[in-house]
Amino acid sequence: MWPTDPASLVAIQRELAAATPDPWRRSEHPVVGGAWVCFPFGASGPGADGDPAWAAAVALRRGRDLARHVVAGRAGAPYLPGLMALRTGPLLEEAVRGLPSAPDVLLVDATGRDHPQRAGLAVHLGAVLDLPTIGVTHRPLVGHGEWPADVTGATSPVRVDGDTVACWVRTRQGTRPLVVHQGWRTDLSTAVDVVVGMCRRRRTPEPLRRAREVARRARAGDLRT
């Protein structure tokens, strides 16, 4: 499920875009995971195959840490729009599988249906892990849409060819909105509800914020040794 060349990845993405998995049925207090990959300080541009990388996964219930896991590895490819799975897919999978138990839903810094094939890394990772997933990014990949009102929880659609593929979401008043993407087994309304509920007075949802922190601490520790 993690090909090493663009053509093979695009073929899998098209299959995933056409798939119809059972929708996630959200419980009252789900365990929400977050997964994040970081690269060396000062890195710019698309990066390269073999770049050092640190991937972390965390699991929270009602804001309380249940587990965390971090792995160090190498990027599988440079960054190419729409082909992020080549660069970080296997590392993210390894980090999440290192948790003692799988979360009910996973937040990941990646797109979902806002993608040339309608199946970004948030969809792909969920299919590989057999987990419901939600993507959270700072900007759309191929879609367009105006920002929502400056009110916490306000949303506005991100569209591609007239189809709504994601939402701008104002997670905190007075800050730039985030783009929330439905991923594997999640719909857009549920994705927005989960993300807004996990922000806790911050712009970034807590599972992603903590996963980013864990990955960066691992990077700092490795660079000091």
pLDDT in tens, 103-117: 999 999 999 999 999
Least confident window among 29-43, 113-127, 135-149: 29-43
Rg (CA), the chain: 16
* pLDDT band at residue 55 under the 50/70/90 scheme: very high
pTM: 0.96
The residue to which tokens 């299959």 are assigned: 15
What are the angstrom distances between the C-alpha of 167 and each of 13, 29, 67, 84, 212?
21, 23, 29, 20, 22
In a 3-state reduction of DSSP, which class is residue 174? coil
* Residue 170 and residue 151 in contact, taking contact as beta carbons nearer than 8 Å: yes
Q: How far apart are CA 194 and CA 61, in angstroms?
A: 12
Q: How far apart are CA 165 and CA 144, in angstroms?
A: 10
Q: What is the mean pLDDT of residues 186-207?
A: 95
Q: How far apart are CA 108 and CA 133, in angstroms?
A: 7
Q: Is the pLDDT of residue 225 over 60?
A: no
Of the candidates 120, 127, 106, 105, the residue with the CA atom closest to the CA atom of residue 20: 127
Q: How far apart are CA 189 and CA 203, in angstroms?
A: 19
Could you give the domains of the chain? 29-224 (3.30.2170.10)
Q: Percent of the chain, pLDDT > 90?
A: 92
Q: Is the pLDDT of residue 1 over 90?
A: no
Q: What is the mean pLDDT of the chain?
A: 95
Q: What is the mean pLDDT of residues 163-173?
A: 97
Q: Quote the pLDDT of residue 46.
A: 83
